[in-house]
Structure 1
Amino acid sequence: MDGKMQRLIIICGATGSGKTTIQNYLASKYGFERVITHTTRAPRKGEEDKKDYYFESEESFLKNHFVEQVKYAGFQYGSSHEGLKRAFEKSKTATIILDTQGAISYTKIVAAFEMIFWYIEVPSEKQLEMRILNRGQSEEEVKKRLASVEARRDMKIPQNLEPFCEIIENALWKDTKRKIDKLLEFGRDN
């Protein structure tokens, strides 16, 4: 490292809002490293351990050193100090996807890096539903997921997170990319 401040871009929003698409865009266009988080849920089709998540058992999950952890739709999720360290070893700017409760946890920590918070929103719940259906989940699974307490909570930005967040509407991908590029003009030196 050459002494430049490390940055963590925290991406939160409703399920299906496009958080992973945005994170993948930041990795491919800017070379930002993903912070891989932990979960006890089973991998979805095409997901890989240590690439998409650290897929854990209930027992192995509890052995990590978490910055934050939450239960979401019946499964444990969390981000670890080790995951942050691994990402910052590869890039001065890293990205992490969190639910809004996880993002709130990051607002309360004193960190040795700059934190940037983005809340991703979509114009309608119907659009969220279609995006999740396109992931290959059944209509029943999608309805159940969107009805969960956590999903309902994440459909709007919590009041205590609002002062920290830049709100990005992700209705049309070309407009979203333009907004992201504009927000990142501050430093292409990752």
Structure 2
Amino acid sequence: MSSVLILCGKTCSGKTFLAQLLKSEFGYEETISTTTRAPRQHLNEIDGVSYHFTDEAHFLELEAKGEMAESFCFTDESGARIHYGTTKEAITQLTDMQKKVVAVLEPEGAVNLHNYCVQNNIPVSIGYLECPVSLQMQRYQAERIHNGNIEFTEGEKKSHIDRLNRMNGIEAMWDALPSYDFYIPVLEGEDALRDYVETLESHAELFSSIEEYKEPLNLSKAAPSSSALGERLFDKMLSSTKPESSIGFSIR
């Protein structure tokens, strides 16, 4: 029987790694989200593989036609609107084939997709990856700052500072949100998480939700952290030594 498992977590909590593990070892298929942001070159993102990249006009057209299973929008530090979403087609083409589906989403998108699945009688659950802030920052430094680049352009530097501000602003609220069915401990090591994944399917089945979340999440107006904080963190990460293997498994 088809089902949808939604993975939530902060930046660098290991969502993508866990989704890849579920695909390679447990037969899950992953949805590909649509976004209006630009591909991240330092992550080698590919259109149609990492995301479906599009412009705002086309994204809004999809929403207006009712083709999105979930979508949300936030305003970045520069004032630009960034849209993310998952089309209904991306979900149904997998569930119609009785596939087990994993989706990696932020909390607002997760609630929207959860409600879409409930309305269409698709078993669904939301798991949240609990990652200590110290480990999150170590991983960001290792994977995104010390990733082979010697120098960053002003645009790349601003992108990192914006992300670090978001990690210390809106993402700091995510741990306490009431919209998760179960929590996934993020452990410092691939083998430990791999052992936990073997029980994940039973968690997903046990907590498959049968009711909608009636109260929509409204996180877009959350106060951002000070822009000076992001800049200080970026400069510190750039100037210090890359963390060793204690950061655990590779993440995005």
Q: Same fold (TM over 0.5)?
A: yes
Tell me which of 117, 129, 137 is aligned to 1:120: 129
TM-score in terms of structure 1 length: 0.82
Encode CA deviations 1:117-148: one digit per residue, 9 max, x unaligned. 1101112x222122223333477644431322
Aligned positions, number: 178
One-letter identity of the residue aligned with 2:121: A
Q: Deviations over 1:43-71 (max 9, x none)?
A: 12311111111011111212321122112
Counterparts of 2:158 and 2:68, CA distance in 1 = 32
Tell me if the contact between 1:41 and 1:75 (Cα under 8 Å) persists in the aligned partners. Answer: yes
- 2:200 is aligned, of 173, 183, 189, to 183
Q: What amino acid is aligned across from residue 127 of structure 2 in structure 1?
A: W
Asked which structure has the greater CA Rg, the reply is 2
* RMSD after superposition: 2.3
90 and 53 in structure 1: CA distance in 2 versus 1, 3 angstrom threshold: farther
Label 1:141 to 1:171 Cα distance change in 2 as closer, same or farther (>3 A).
Answer: farther
The whole-number CA distance in structure 2 between the counterparts of 1:186 and 1:167 is 9
From the two aligned structures, give the one with the greater helix fraction. 2
User: Could you tell me the percent identity over the aligned residues?
Assistant: 24
Instruction: Select 2:177's aligned residue among 134, 158, 178.
Output: 158
The verdict on how the C-alpha distance between 1:177 and 1:132 changes in structure 2, with shifts beyond 3 A counting, is same
- Which range moves more in the overlay, 140-149 or 24-33? 140-149
CA distance in 1, matches of 2:55, 2:137: 29
Q: 1:153 to 1:76 in 2, by over 3 A?
A: farther
C-alpha separation between the residues in 2 aligned to 1:115 and 1:37? 17
Higher strand share: 1
Counterpart of 2:73 in structure 1 is 71
Q: Which residue of 2 aligns with 1:132?
A: 140
The secondary structure found in structure 2 opposite 1:112 is coil
Q: Is contact 1:121-1:168 (8 Å) kept?
A: yes
Q: 1:171 aligned to 2:187? A: yes
Q: Note if contact 1:19-1:97 (Cα within 8 Å) is conserved in structure 2.
A: yes
Q: Post-superposition shift, 1:185?
A: 5.2
Counterpart position of 1:28: 24
Unaligned runs of 5+ in 1: none
